[in-house]
Structure 1
Amino acid sequence: MDISWLEFIIFSMAVFRLTRLLVYDQITEWIRSPFMDEYEEKNDEGETETYLLPKEGGVRGWFGNLLSCFWCTGIWMAIGLFVIRLYVPVVYKPVVIVLAAAGLAAIVETWIQSKNIG
């Protein structure tokens, strides 16, 4: 199977963005919530901090551990996108282009914020 360097870079950006979407973004909290337990703790200043921890044991615990690990989720997202590339290429191309563009935009925005530009 041939894959150009450009396609590999675009694919990698798409995997990056899809993984961050599932692991961190607020918009996908509803996907993570069945697999996580919420714990609250007071910090030294008396403020309440909320922590999400994977559920204990079973399938929900397994998915909770997966969704709390950027590296673990990234592998599965790469496999999923690759399978889509093989079997449903008409879906693959637009999805990967949109995810890659969003991933690059997120990186650029993070860089701009770190430099206090704009």
Structure 2
Amino acid sequence: MKITFLQFLLLSFASFRLTRLVVFDKITEFLRRPFFDEVLEKNEDGEEEVYLLPKKNGLKGWIGELLSCYWCTGIWIAACLFLCWLWIPFYSMPVILILAIAGGGALLETAIQHWLSDDY
């Protein structure tokens, strides 16, 4: 198996974007909700804050632990994207390309925002 630098870069950006989508983005919150319990705590100012804790046992607990770890989820997503690219490239490449473009755009936007905030 031979992978070019461009393919590696596309898979990397796609993995980055899909991992962030699954672990952090609000649009996928409904997918994460069954695997977490909400805990309310009061902070030092007396305001209530909501914390998400993975379920305690079973498959839901395991998935909750996985989703609470960005690095762990990233490994599984990278493996799935790579296997899809390897086994079903015709169907997976458009998805990988879209995710890679979105991931590259997100990184570029973050860099520009960081650069602009340093000037002010």
TM-score by length of 2: 0.92
| Separation in 2, partners of 1:46, 1:104 | 40
Structure 2 residue 79 is matched with structure 1 residue 79: yes
| Separation in 1, partners of 2:68, 2:27 | 15
Encode CA deviations 1:9-39: one digit per residue, 9 max, x unaligned.
Answer: 1110100100010000000001100001111
Aligned position for 1:32:
32
| Separation in 1, partners of 2:108, 2:10 | 15
Identity %: 54
SS of 2:40's equivalent in the other structure is: strand
> Cα distance, 1:111 vs. partner?
1.5
Specify every segment of 5 or more residues in structure 1 that has no aligned partner in the other structure, as ranges: none
| Separation in 1, partners of 2:86, 2:107 | 28
Alignment of 1:49-60 (within 5 A): 49-60=49-60
> Cα distance, 1:59 vs. partner?
0.4
| Separation in 1, partners of 2:8, 2:109 | 22
Question: Which residue identity lines up with residue 15 of structure 2 in the other structure?
Answer: V
Encode CA deviations 1:60-95: one digit per residue, 9 max, x unaligned.
Answer: 000000011111101110111111112211111111
Which stretch of structure 1 is more off in the superposition, 108-117 or 82-91?
A: 108-117
Aligned position for 1:9:
9
| Separation in 2, partners of 1:111, 1:46 | 35
Q: Which runs of 4+ in 1 moved over 3 A?
A: none
SS of 2:41's equivalent in the other structure is: strand
| Separation in 1, partners of 2:48, 2:112 | 31
Aligned position for 2:110:
110
- How many positions carry a matched residue from both structures? 117
SS of 1:2's equivalent in the other structure is: coil
Specify every segment of 5 or more residues in structure 2 that has no aligned partner in the other structure, as ranges: none
